Amino acid sequence: MRTMFKAALTATALMAAASIAQAKTTIRVTLQLPESHSLGQNWNAFKEIVEAKSGGELNVQLFPSAQLYKDKEVPEAVGTGAVEAGSAFLGRFTGAVPAVDVVSLPFFFRDEDHLRAAVTTGSPMRSVLDTAILQETNARVLWWQAFGRNIYLSDGSAIRAPSDLERKKVRTYGKVLGWTIEALGGAPTLMSGSKQFLAYQQGAVDVGMTGASAVKSRKLFEVMDHMTLSYDSAIEFVAVINNDFFEGLTPEHQAIVLEAAAEVEQQLRDAIYAEEDAIVDEMRNTITVVDLSDDERQKWVEATQSVVNRFVEDAGETAAQVVKAVSDM
């Protein structure tokens, strides 16, 4: 009898454990950067909020440093449900939604406040783009992850006026950025971030486009001695989740995920811009930092105005919508 009673208790315990395991929902997240990076820390903050507010019913597992998928593979992997969620460079979605390249338009955002307003959740621009990404890829945008703003690197002399780029080979990281260089009289060379150091060191290109954080993290200051703070375009990543998976969550869990996303989005943008300022200040002791005056900046604006029309003509009606949405702000 006692043996039967123990067996019954064991069976009950196993059933209870199985029930608890089934109650947990796991969200696997594919990341391109290590958890120590700002974007990785951003996801860790999301993980803490979601797991705490759900009482452990939602479990977030992070796979950093492209362990699961490379950056270019993330849109399809998340969209098809091969993985529940992930982060990717916004430009990786241009194949499905060309209009997302609006953030690469030169000098399109008047200043930091205008940029922040344009990219905030629920803004006219975000509403159009997030909806288009969902419809075209089945990946729901949870939040945009700020990565910084574009700057120019050069060696030997400063890039201060548009004429300084004429007939120069320039490293770029997107199609619209290439159009910007063409408008400025240069020759764009599309190149991944990891190849920059050697390209600058060996003179494969004359000038580089990148973010201020990369100047420090990739030690580009060792091969380039001038940094021009053009801040002419934004560098953005997006945190996305498979829409079928999201809609399969309970309304309570959906609300927890969306609330956590809104909270960490603002945290990251504040942190990234503060970090960007700190890195620029640090670099002033290492290389020559070029601050454009209002008059100098205006010359860049005038020289690149044609890029907006080229973008709208190439990317279609959705691009026209987002350009108008941002211009009217």
The pLDDT-based confidence of 21 (bands split at 50, 70, 90) is very low
Q: What does each C-alpha distance from 250 to 48, 54, 83, 226, 256 come to in angstroms? A: 19, 11, 19, 53, 10
Q: What does each C-alpha distance from 34 to 44, 63, 64, 67, 173 come to in angstroms? A: 11, 9, 5, 10, 21
Query: Taking a C-beta distance cutoff of 8 angstroms, is the pair 104, 177 a contact?
Result: yes
Residue/partner pairs of 248-251 with CB below 8 Å, 24 or more apart = 249/25
Indicate the domain borders of the chain: 25-323
Q: CA-CA distance, 100 to 128, in Å (whole number)?
A: 10
Average pLDDT, the chain: 90
The pLDDT-based confidence of 13 (bands split at 50, 70, 90) is very low
Q: CA-CA distance, 48 to 56, in Å (whole number)?
A: 10
Q: What is the pLDDT of residue 23?
A: 59
CA 250 to chain centre: 28
Q: CA-CA distance, 326 to 287, in Å (whole number)?
A: 35
| Closest to 124 measured CA to CA, from 263, 311, 318 | 318
Mean pLDDT of 96-102: 95
pLDDT at residue 217 is higher than 90:
no
Enter the tokens of residue 328.
């009217």
Q: CA-CA distance, 293 to 308, in Å (whole number)?
A: 23
Q: CA-CA distance, 102 to 109, in Å (whole number)?
A: 10
Q: What is the pLDDT of residue 214?
A: 87
Tell the CATH topology of 25-323: D-Maltodextrin-Binding Protein; domain 2 (3.40.190)
Instruction: Dump pLDDT digits (tens) for 142-199.
Output: 999 998 899 999 999 999 999 999 999 999 998 999 999 999 999 999 988 889 999 9
Instruction: Dump pLDDT digits (tens) for 195-214.
Output: 999 999 999 999 999 998 88
Q: What is the pLDDT of residue 237?
A: 94
CA 25 to chain centre: 26
Please state, as a whole number, how many other Cβ atoms lie within 10 Å of the Cβ of residue 153: 27
Mean pLDDT of 125-136: 96
H/E run at residue 139:
strand 139-154
Mean pLDDT of 261-274: 92
